[in-house]
Amino acid sequence: MIDGNLAFKLEKDFNPPYNTGNEGWVYNDNVNDPRIKKWLGEVVGKEGEDLSRHDKWLCMMYPRLKLMKRLLSDDGVIFVSIDDIEVANLRFIMDEIFGKDRFVAQLIWKSRQNKDNRNITNVSIDHEYILCYGKKLRGCERKTDQYKNPDNDPRGLWTSANMVGLATAEARPNLHYDLIDPVTGINYGRPAKGWRYDRNTMSKLIEENRILWPSTPDGRPRKKQFLSELSAEYTGYSSIVGENFYTRDGANEQLQIWGEVKFDFPKNVGLIMELLEQGTDKDSIVLDSFAGSGTTAHAVLNLNKADGGNRQFILIEMMDYAESITAERVRRVINGYGEGKKAVAGTGGAFSFYELGEPLLRNGNINDNVSTDKLREYIYFTETHQPLEASREEEPYYLGTYLSTAYYFCYEKDSRIVLDYELLGAAVKTRAEGYVIYADICALSESQLMKYNITFKKIPRDITRI
């Protein structure tokens, strides 16, 4: 039920297995066909040994990205880190799922600090990619330190701006002319590439007293550029991400936290913090569906501490180290870690750790190990995206009413329930404009269902077990 609860405001960081050809991983989604299950359930072999590894990787990624699309808020962004091996395939499926019009950038992350001399091609692959889809990134804060007001200009802070042009006299003859100070009469000539403004614009700048005239003819006049004229608070964000965000620094962070490196090639916390600054507001929800060592949570907690934000994180990890490594790292970041001079103060905060229960369905039928209460909660939420109403002793099958429709789950674990007139009279007591009734069998005709505005839904279960 995660998608219904969280679909309102999500930004994401997505760090799937890279399928490098060296690591082994298992596709572990639920599928029905036994042949497909056998194929997907095998540990992926090395590149060259398992010709299906790219197919399996795409089978694993596609449904996850479809779910990410459903969860992504209208103004959210998704970051997916990947390397050369699958970047082309990933770009195709992300274009299909998120839409080419939602593509923001293919960022380049310099992940390696020192060259790798082991590559048989003699090319050291020092970078990875981060695909970004959504609306847009925030950009970089414009630096304004250079803006001063030494002459107390009433128009406010200003800096001097270059007025030398970029075009030849043949290309832009109107920008090539002598520039003369009307007060001193000094002629500053014309630069080889002319001026940036034509005569009319330059005359207006002179009239507004915006030209800074050098004292000698060999100087170059400059323009007063006022801070108030800046069109935006932010400038463009470089497609080459950050500086000094190497995987070795991520390993050093693990050493500080654990005293050992528990994950190979970990992301640097600073890298994730920078991406979060670009893609989130202070109250965003951040989802990492391949949580790994918990770097995303670490970055969220650090960023909240730094800027007073109230971002929340959701980590999903399917491996058996979810509690012992992923969650434990979050605990240590919150409470502080390290000793002596290397001690790092805690960020504060809190989180909850949950484990998934039994799947509701097995092979398309209700899982007998799931309680009736859980089934009732799930069905009502899937139908209405609302929490289940309080149970009624006089109406044990009643789930709730939403938008003038009453919902009933007529289910007994050890017997079949038939939707007929007897059941309607005994079990349905709430007046509503329409009814959605789950049962094992429907004994009412189509015309009878239409008469009472009833939608019948068959409960999926193996009747041979009853």
Cα separation of 403 and 135, whole Å?
33
Q: Domain limits at 43? A: 2-137+236-345
Report pLDDT for 140: 86
pLDDT of res. 152: 96
DSSP-assigned letter for residue 322:
I
pLDDT per residue as tens digits for the range 414-427? 899 999 999 999 99
- Domain count of the chain? 3
Residues in CB range of 338: below 8 A, 6 or more apart:
256, 257, 344
Q: What pLDDT was estimated at residue 7?
A: 32
Does residue 354 lie in a domain region?
no
**Domain end position, chosen among 213, 229, 245:** 229
In this structure, is residue 153 part of a structural domain?
no
SS3 for 257? helix
Q: Give pLDDT, residue 1.
A: 29
User: Is the same domain home to 223 and 246?
Assistant: no
One domain, residues 403 and 294: no
pLDDT at 229: 87
Q: How many CA atoms within 13 Å lie on the side-chain side of 16? A: 28
CATH value at residue 17? 3.40.50.150
End position of a domain, from candidates 229, 261, 286: 229
Based on the domain organization, do 27 and 125 belong to the same domain? yes
Show the low-confidence residues of the chain (pLDDT under 50): 1-9, 25, 27, 31-37, 39-40, 43
pLDDT computed for residue 400 by the predictor = 96
Residue 353: inside a domain = no
- In this structure, the strands spanning 140-141 and 103-110 are unpaired
- For residue 78, give every residue at least 6 positions away whose Cβ sits within 8 Å of its Cβ, in sequence order, or none: 11, 12, 14, 68, 72, 98, 132, 133, 134
| pTM, two decimal places | 0.70
Same domain, 205 and 224: yes
For residues 17 and 103, give the distance between their C-alpha atoms in angstroms, rounded to a whole number: 21
| Among candidate residues 345, 370, 385, the one where a domain is terminated | 345
- Which two three-digit tokens encode residue 116? 């790798």
Return the half-sphere exposure (C-beta side, CA atoms, 13 A cut-off) of residue 452: 20
Q: Is residue 105 part of a domain?
A: yes
pLDDT at residue number 61 = 85
pLDDT in tens, 340-396: 888 999 999 999 999 888 888 888 888 888 999 999 999 999 999 999 999 899 999
Beta strands 398-402 and 405-409: pairing type?
Answer: antiparallel
